[in-house]
Amino acid sequence: MLLGALTTHLTNYVMERSRHRRELLTRWDDRKLDAYGGYVDRVRAGIFLAVRLYEHREGIRTSELPESEMLADLAEAERYQGQSFEQVMLLGGDVVVEAAHELHSAVRAIDWQATGKTTGTLEEWRELHRVAFREINEFHEAARVDLGVQGKVSGERHLERDLLLPSARRQGNNTSG
């Protein structure tokens, strides 16, 4: 009888401990998913603001906002990206962290050209975006592996796509219309 009670207690202890571990893993996975998704969302928002500033500065598309306000918006977006980046650094595995560093570098290059810290042609600007979106896909891949999600967002089944631009802009016509 004592052996039966001890066996039951030990079995319940092991099952409860396993359940608790699963709950902790699920909770961390939820936090990772929020951190990874939030980081990519902030990156994309920052890219949008950089595009708005760049197009205004280059005369491609004018904005009603003064340049100083666009610069302030971009600086605020960079601050939020930095906060999201830190969450990824705290929660992500090695491959995710490395992918985040690569993405962070690609986005900084866009910001620097948008603000005039670096110069380049329109084609070089577009190439910065191609690189950034490839890095977003690499980040997605690393995050999916870290979260245990099956499948891929790139590769043979998902062909690489170029920037989506209106035909006039693809052909080098820089005017909006």
Is residue 168 over pLDDT 60? no
Is residue 19 over pLDDT 70? no
Alpha-carbon Rg for the chain, nearest whole angstrom, is 23
Residue 131 covered by a domain:
yes
Residue 155 covered by a domain:
yes
Burial (0-12, 13-18, 19+ Cβ within 10 Å), 61: middle
- The reported pLDDT for the residue numbered 172 is 53
- The reported pLDDT for the residue numbered 175 is 46
* Predicted structure pTM score: 0.76
27 confidence band (pLDDT: 50, 70, 90) = low
Say what percent of the chain tops pLDDT 70: 75
Residue 162 covered by a domain:
yes
Residue 177 covered by a domain:
no
The closest alpha carbon to 50, from 123, 125, 101, belongs to: 125
Residue scoring higher pLDDT (13 or 121): 121
What is the total count of domains within the chain?
Answer: 1
Supply the range of the domain harboring residue 63: 2-170
- The reported pLDDT for the residue numbered 117 is 96
Place of tokens 């290059």: 109
Residue 55 covered by a domain:
yes
HEC secondary structure over the chain = CHHHHHHHHHHHHHHHHHHHHHHHHHHHHHHHHHHHHHHHHHHHHHHHHHHHHHHHHCCCCCCCCCHHHHHHHHHHHHHHHHHHHHHHHHHCCHHHHHHHHHHHHHHHHHHHHHHCCCCCCHHHHHHHHHHHHHHHHHHHHHHHHHHCCCCCCCCCCCCCCCCCCCHHHHCCCCCCC
Say what percent of the chain tops pLDDT 90: 66
Residue 74 covered by a domain:
yes
- The reported pLDDT for the residue numbered 124 is 96
Is residue 44 over pLDDT 90? yes
- The reported pLDDT for the residue numbered 11 is 76
Residue 89 covered by a domain:
yes
Give the span between the Cα atoms of 69 and 53, in whole angstroms: 10
pLDDT tens across 82-100, in order?
Answer: 999 999 999 999 999 999 9
Give the span between the Cα atoms of 90 and 124, in whole angstroms: 33
Residue 176 covered by a domain:
no
- For the residues 143-160, what does the mean pLDDT come to? 74
List the CATH number of the domain containing 155: 1.20.1420
